Every structure is written in structure tokens, then in C-alpha cells.
Chain A
Amino acid sequence: MAINIEGLTFHYGGAKQSPTILDDINLTIPSGRITAIVGQTGSGKSTLVQNLNALLLPSGGQVVVGDQVITSKTKEKALPAVRAQVGMVFQFPENQLFAATVLEDVMYGPKNFGKTAEEAEELAKKALNRVSLAEEFWQRSPFDLSGGQMRRVALAGVLAMNPKAMVFDEPAAGLDPQGQLELLDLLRSLRTEGKTVVLISHQMDQVLALADQVVVMQDGQVAAVEAPDQLFQRSRQWFLDHSLDLPTPVAFAKDLEEKGYHFDHLPTSVADVAAQIAKQVDWSQVTEPVNVAGADWQSQQASQSSADQVLTSNSRGGDLHE
């Protein structure tokens, strides 16, 4: 299910003097793809995604979700139908848990959207399995769980609603590296199922690894809509101007390009950078021990994996081995 945003403007309240937060946004969020929304804090990302499931109504323009059109005049009664189709996972979603047991909490959404208790339980169990929360926790209070487990429960609470599109606002914030990897896998599997996924993220490595389309927001406007391999070809200065980071492999490749290395395509992972460099190094010249990496480097000098190791130690996130 695609979401179309047409001439969307948004400001709080009816008053004219209140500042415009979103200014004439035109955007298509394609079905069955992962769209990443990036931009500095205050650029309007969160406001934009809250318009996607009618938590906020447009001040002008419209949002078309499947066959439902949301405008400033849409009636309160029509909103739950939109929210059933677009699931929203807020930042730190574990703060929304309330029920006596994990299972009941996950059943809350499906029940609200008209499922019977049995159906809701079925969906909840499926969702809990999907976020790999062991069955022994299902009857416990969600407040007895660890932070990471609570996050899983909260994610399951939205997954159980089985929406056609899902929006994630910084879902990886505060998760341990393993948790982050699992989350990225979850997003990929949602895409495989044909769900429309929207992801707000500040971590460009994640964006590069996951997204099919990147939307760059600045001052309430869309600054760019491009595929990641196209977007990250832009100059360093452009990213500085938009207060954005480059993904680790791309930043590394750009550094090397300045030193005369050549890349046939923009590297999408650390391993990709390594492979492309390995092709360019004249290994017969490398006879002296290299000081930086020491003996370890010398013993494996011809192998690509050591180059990979050196490069990995340069990268900040180790989660990019695809």
C-alpha cells in the first residue's frame, strides 16, 4: 500500500501566526519498500510521520493512505481505519506498555481494531514469536522485563495489528548492537512481506544498509528524495549543509578517493570498500611490516580478510557485514 503526500502543509493550531512546520510536501512512499526519512532535529520528520497515520491532520493539502484521503476536514470517526492500516512505532516505544501481562499488552491493538479475544491472542503470539521474545515471558508483567525485552514487546504490540504500512521513529535508539542487528532484520523481513516501511533514522549506516529511498528533510521541506547510492554521491559539503553524516563505508571511500584510489561504484558496506581497495593494491610491493597493524598484518598480507579487519576497526558500527 503506497502513501501519497500531496501539497501537505502543517502548523499547530488554527492561528496564522504559529510557525509553519511542514511546508508544501509532495512525496510518494512506495509500496513494499523501505523509505528512510533523515534530517536534523527540528526539520519536521516526526511531524511528517504523524501525518501518515492521522495523529495530526494536515493544515493544507492531503495525505492519501491506500484508498483513504486525509485532509484538514477528515472526521474523527474515519481516523481509526487509517490507524489500523498504518502502524506507528514511536521513539522509546517501551514507554507505552501498560497491561498486567505481556500477552495482554500485545493484544491491546488488535482488540481495539475489532478482533475477537481469540484472534487477538493468536496474532499476539505470532508477533511475540516474531520479535523472538521467549514464551516464558508472555504471562509476566511487562515492567519486570529488561529494557531490550520491553522494546520487543512494544514492537510486537504494533506488529500484532498487522498493518499494511509501518512507521518506525528511531527504532534502534538505545538498543545494544545485537538488538540493532535483529531490528534491521525485522525491517527487511517486513519489506519481503510487501509491507510499506518508513524509518526515521540518524544513523546513515542503517539508512545505507536498508533503505530503498531516502527523504532528506530540512526546515519543514523536502530537500531530496533519492535512492541511497545516488544520494551519498553528493558532495561532503552538501551533507554538512544539511547537518547529516555520511555512512562509514562511504566516508572512508571518499577519504581514499582524495588520496588517489578509485571506486567503480559507491561502496555499500565495509566489506565492499575492502574488496575494491584490495583490487587496487599492488601486493607485491607490500614486503615491509606495516607499523600500524603490526605482525598480524604481515602474516596475512595477501588475504582480503585482514584488509577487512583493519577497515572494520576504523568503522564505528560493526553491523554492516551484509
Chain B
Amino acid sequence: MNNLVIGQFIPGKAWLYKLDPRTKILVTVAYVFLLVFANQWPAYLLAAAFLGLTLVLTGQSLALYWRGIKPILWLILFTVCLQLLFTGGTPVLWHWSFITITVPGVVNAFYVIVRFVLIVLMSTALTLTTPPTSIASALESLLAPLKAIKVPVAELALMLSIALRFVPLLMGETDKVMKAQKSRGMSLSTGSLWQRSKAVLPLLIPLFIGALQRALDLANAMEVRGFESADNRTRYRVLSFTQADVLATIATIAFTVLFIGTLLIHF
């Protein structure tokens, strides 16, 4: 469970770490948005190049990204199967009773793989180089305009960062309870489906109770330290745009223009 790369922050000193988290979030969102429109190989090629550059700038080894992709391989495989089986059209490559595999199906399946991998790796690059707390405060800053229509942005950002903080805690807790119940003979890998789903209860109940207890403790700890409202708080790390952000923005705009260009030109 500790090998999960997606969503994990790994400290480093590479160029991407110097970027303001807001820039990184905006670039990632723009990238994912643009990819939705990609329908030809030159667009994918360009997107892959941009991603390649980003990954190099994270300063992490490519082996790490491979480890990040591995756990979601089955998910990709599943989507590929759907594409292969349910895309119609001609010419037909192979046909057997109800299974029909067509050329557009294969092409689509390939694109799905590429799109999936590109999106996942880009988001991984974001979370890998940005501490969760920075992501939360960046979101708060980006969503600040919504305060005008009474959206509690600061509270939402605080909730987000607390939720993120709880992820590793809960994972540790799951491991502990799992071991305790295994010692009492719990087995999740035997028995009928009904028995197996019932076997999860001894795991879930202690976890929920533990999480609630922790949440109450945290709320008390915040209150005794004088927490009243998430609004108008000063922070230890003040977000500020630097030259690096200007560079990143220029690169992204250049990429966007080129990308839209490839969409307009038909090869």
C-alpha cells in the first residue's frame, strides 16, 4: 500500500518544485481539458512531448512513473476491452459469434490507453512535486472569487487539507486493524462472496470509529488553540508567482496554440 505513487508527494529540488502550486494546477487542468479534444496522432504526439518535458523537470526517475502506472494497468485494460468490443464501424478485423473487432475499435482503444496514461502521469507530476497543503491553499486562492457568492472557500480548502492529512493516518490504521483481525483468524480470501463481504465488517467498524474519534480529537485540539474561522488567516508559506511561473505559462500557451493547430489541420 505504501508503494502507491499516484497522489504521493516526494520532496525534491528540481525546477518543477519551484513553481507556484496555482500555476501547476492551472497547467494540469488546461492539459487535461485539451486532451479531451485530441483525435489524431499528431495531437497525441505533441501532448506526449509536453508531458515528457514536464516529467524531466520533476527530476524523478522514469522507473518511479512506471511504478505509478502499474497499479492502474488493469483499469486501462478494462477500458481497452470496452473500446474493442463496443466500437462499431468498418472494416471488421475479426468476428466470432457476438464479438466483433473493428479497425476503428483498435484505433480508439489505442487512443484511450495513451490518453489515460498521459492524464494520469500529468496529475502524478503535479502531486509528486506539490505538498498536499500547498495544493489546498492554491485551490483556496484560485477559488477565492467564489466567496462573492457566499461559497465558504476557506473552510472547503481547510477540509480538503485535513482530509488529505487523514489519508496516510487511515492507511496506517487500516494496516493495524487488519493485522489485529487477521491474528483473530479473519480471512478475506476464502468463502462465498456473501461471507467475504461480511468479513469486511470487523475491519470497517473499528476504522470508522477510530476515524470519528480522531476527527473529534482534532476538532478539540483546534478549538483549544483558538481556531474560530478559516477565513482571513495568515499562512506560513505565502504563495507568490516568480519568473519560473512566467516561463511555465509561456510554455503552456505555446503548447496550447500548437495543439489547437494540429486539431485544425487534417493530416
A112 contacts which of B187, B201, B209 (Cβ < 8 Å)? B187
How far does the alpha carbon of A243 sit from the alpha carbon of B215 in the complex, in Å? 34
Q: Does A228 lie at the interface of the complex (its beta carbon under 8 Å from any beta carbon of B)? A: no
- Beta-carbon contacts under 8 Å, A89-132 to B: 90, 93, 95-99, 108-109, 111-113
The distance from the CB of A293 to the nearest CB of chain B, in whole angstroms, is 41
List chain B residues, Cβ under 8 A from A88. Answer: 179-180, 183
Q: Which residues of A contact B201 (CB under 8 A)?
A: 98
Q: Which residue of B lies closest to A12 (CB)?
A: B2
- Is the CB of B90 closer than 8 A to any CB of chain A? no
B186 within 8 A of A: yes
Q: Which residue of A lies closest to B180 (CB)?
A: A96
- A76 in complex: contacting residue of B186, B189, B202, CB < 8 Å: B189
Question: A7-32, CB under 8 A of B: which get 1 and which 0?
Answer: 00000110000000000000000000
Residues of B close to A93: CB separation below 8 A: 180
B185–A53 touching, CB < 8 Å = no
Consensus secondary structure, chain B interface: helix
- Bound-state CA distance A96–B206 (Å) is 6
Known contacts A98-B205, A98-B206; A50 and B179 CB within 8 A of each other: yes
Q: Which residues of B contact A95 (CB under 8 A)?
A: 176-177, 180, 206, 210
Residue of B2, B179, B184, B189 near A109 (CB, 8 A) is B184
For residues 175 through 199 of chain B, which have their beta carbon under 8 Å from a beta carbon of chain A?
Answer: 176-177, 179-187, 189
Say whether A55 faces chain B, with CB atoms less than 8 Å apart: yes
A190 to B104, CA, bound (A): 71
Residues of B within 8 A of A87 (CB): 183
Nearest CB in chain A: distance from B223 CB, A: 23
User: Would you call B180 and A98 a contact (CB within 8 A)?
Assistant: no
Interface status of B3 (Cβ within 8 A of chain A): yes
Q: Are A108 and B202 in contact (CB under 8 A)?
A: yes
| A161 close to chain B: CB less than 8 A | yes
The verdict on A157 contacting chain B, using a C-beta distance below 8 Å, is yes
Q: Is A83 on the interface with B (CB-CB < 8 A)? A: yes
A158 within 8 A of B: yes
Interface positions, chain A 70-90, Cβ under 8 Å from B, are 76, 80, 83-84, 87-88, 90
Report chain B residues within 8 Å CB of A297: none
Contact A90 B179, beta carbon cutoff 8 Å: yes
* Given A96-B177, A143-B209, A158:B187 Cβ within 8 A: no
Question: A94 to nearest B CB, angstroms?
Answer: 9
Kindly list chain A residues whose C-beta atoms are within 8 Å of the C-beta of B209: 143
Taking CB atoms, residues of chain B closer than 8 Å to A50 are: 179
Hey, which chain A residues are within 8 Å of B182, CB to CB?
Answer: 55, 83
Q: How many residues of B contact A (CB 8 A)?
A: 21
Identify B176's interface contact among A84, A90, A97, A111, CB under 8 A. A90
Among residues of B, the one whose C-beta sits closest to the C-beta of A54 is: B182
The reply to whether A97 and B206 contact each other, CB–CB distance below 8 Å, is: yes
B186 and A112 contacting across the interface, CB-CB below 8 Å: yes
Chain A residue with the shortest CB-CB distance to B190: A77
Quick one: which of B54-105 are within 8 Å of A by CB? Answer: none
**Contact residues in B for A158 (Cβ distance below 8 Å):** 183-184
Say how far B190's CB is from chain A's closest CB, in angstroms. Answer: 8
Chain A residue, CB-CB nearest to B213: A95
Least CB distance, B8 to chain A, in whole angstroms: 15
CA distance A95 to B203 in the complex (A): 10
Q: Is the CB of A55 within 8 A of B179?
A: yes
Q: Among B3, B181, B185, which residue has its beta carbon within 8 angstroms of that of A80?
A: B185
The residues of A that contact B184 with a CB separation of less than 8 Å are: 83, 96, 108-109, 112, 157-158, 161
Asked whether B185 lies within 8 Å of A84 as measured between CB atoms, the reply is yes
Question: Could you say which residues of chain B place their CB within 8 Å of the CB of A84?
Answer: 185
Mark B residues whose CB is within 8 Å of A. 2-3, 176-177, 179-187, 189, 201-203, 205-206, 209-210
Q: List 18 A-B contacts (CB under 8 A).
A: A53-B183, A55-B179, A55-B183, A76-B189, A80-B185, A80-B187, A88-B180, A90-B176, A93-B180, A96-B180, A96-B184, A97-B206, A98-B205, A98-B206, A112-B186, A157-B184, A158-B184, A161-B184
With contacts A83-B185, A88-B183, A95-B206 known, what are 20 further pairs, Cβ within 8 A?
A12-B2, A50-B179, A55-B182, A76-B189, A80-B185, A83-B183, A84-B185, A90-B180, A95-B177, A96-B177, A96-B180, A96-B202, A98-B206, A108-B184, A109-B184, A112-B185, A112-B186, A112-B187, A157-B184, A158-B183
- Sorted from nearest, which 3 A-B pairs have the closest CB atoms? A112-B185, A98-B205, A96-B180
